Amino acid sequence: MTKDTGNAVFFIILALGGLWSARTFNTMSAVFPILILGLLLLFSIVYLMVSLFKAGQQEEETSKIFSREALMTSLGLLGYILLIWLIGFLLASLLFLGIMTWYLQGGYVSGRKRLVNAAGSSIAVTVVFFLLFRYIFLVQLPTGFFQ
């Protein structure tokens, strides 16, 4: 199965699932979603047919979606929101910025300088924007378990 065929199958399942859910809505709430899901189903079927037709004609490039850097960044982002929920915005941001900056410097900066850069940028960015949002824009940032 090619990437396009996989995508098309996914969208067909999504459209059918959506139509199944929409059966519980009242008429006025259902009109627009059903119209949209119908269109999605139609376009996805055409996409599936086009992808099956093209499947044998050209060779696919290998997927680079899940490269090491992309995976690390994605895990870093998910870890960041988990940390915000657990220990609050200030501490989570200090940790995220510090660790990400340290990790991304690999191959460019090394030794003590790498650590100093990571800590310096993390503290400077977090503190400046925390103060700006907390005391100028009066945004109550999440505090996690330290409420």
Partner 1 sequence: MEIFQEVLSSLSQPFTIIYMIFGVAAGMIVGALPGLTATMAIAVMLPFTFSMPADTALITLGGIYIGAIFGGCIAAILINTPGTPSSIATTFDGYPMTQQGKPDQALITAAVSSGIGGVIGGLALLFLTPLLAALALKFGPPEFFWIALLGLTMVATLSAGSLLKGLIGGTIGLLLSTVGLAPIGGSSRFTFGLSQLQAGFELIVMLIAFFCIPQVIKMIKNQTDAKEQVEPFQSQKGVIGYVFKQLFIRPFLILRSAVIGIIVGIIPGAGGNVASLLSYDATVRLSKDQSTFGKGDVRGVAASEGANNAEVGGSLVPLLALGIPGAPPAAVIIGALLMQGIQPGPNLFEENANLIYTFISAFILANVVMLILAIFGSKYIGRVINIPTYYLAPAIVFLTIIGSYAIRNNFMDVVTLIVFGLIGYILAERGFRPAPIVLGLILGPIAEEGLSQSILISEGTGSLLAMFFTRPITVLLMILCVLSLLSPYLGKLLKNQKQKEEKEEAG
In the complex, the residues that contact partner 1 under the rule CB under 8 A are 3, 7, 11, 18, 21-22, 24-33, 35-37, 39-40, 43-44, 46-47, 50, 63-65, 67, 69-70, 72-74, 77-78, 80-81, 84-85, 89, 93, 96-97, 100-101, 104-105, 107-109, 117, 121, 125-126, 129, 133, 137-142
Query: Are 121 and 97 in contact, with CB atoms under 8 Å apart?
Result: yes
**Cα dihedral sign for 107, 113, 116, 117?**
negative
Q: Distances in Å between the alpha carbon of 143 and those of 3, 9, 42, 44?
A: 42, 42, 46, 44
In angstroms, give the least distance from the CB of 62 to partner 1: 12
Min. distance of Cβ 4 from partner 1 in angstroms?
8
Q: Output the smallest distance, CB 33 to partner 1, in A.
A: 5
CB 87 → partner 1: shortest distance, Å? 13
For the four alpha carbons of 23, 25, 28 and 29, in that order, the dihedral sign comes to negative
Q: What b-and-e string marks burial along 43-81, b requiring 16 or more CB atoms within 10 Å of the CB?
A: ebeebbeebeeeeeeeeeeeeeeeeeeeeeeeeeeeebe
Nearer to partner 1, 56 or 128 (CB): 128
- Give whichever of 73 and 87 is closer to partner 1, judged by the CB atom: 73
Task: Identify which of residues 26 and 58 has a Cβ nearer to partner 1 in the complex.
Answer: 26
Q: Given the complex with partner 1, which of 33 and 52 has the nearer CB atom?
A: 33
Q: What are phi and psi of 139, to 5 degrees?
A: -95, 125
Q: How far is the CB of 56 from partner 1 (least distance, A)?
A: 19
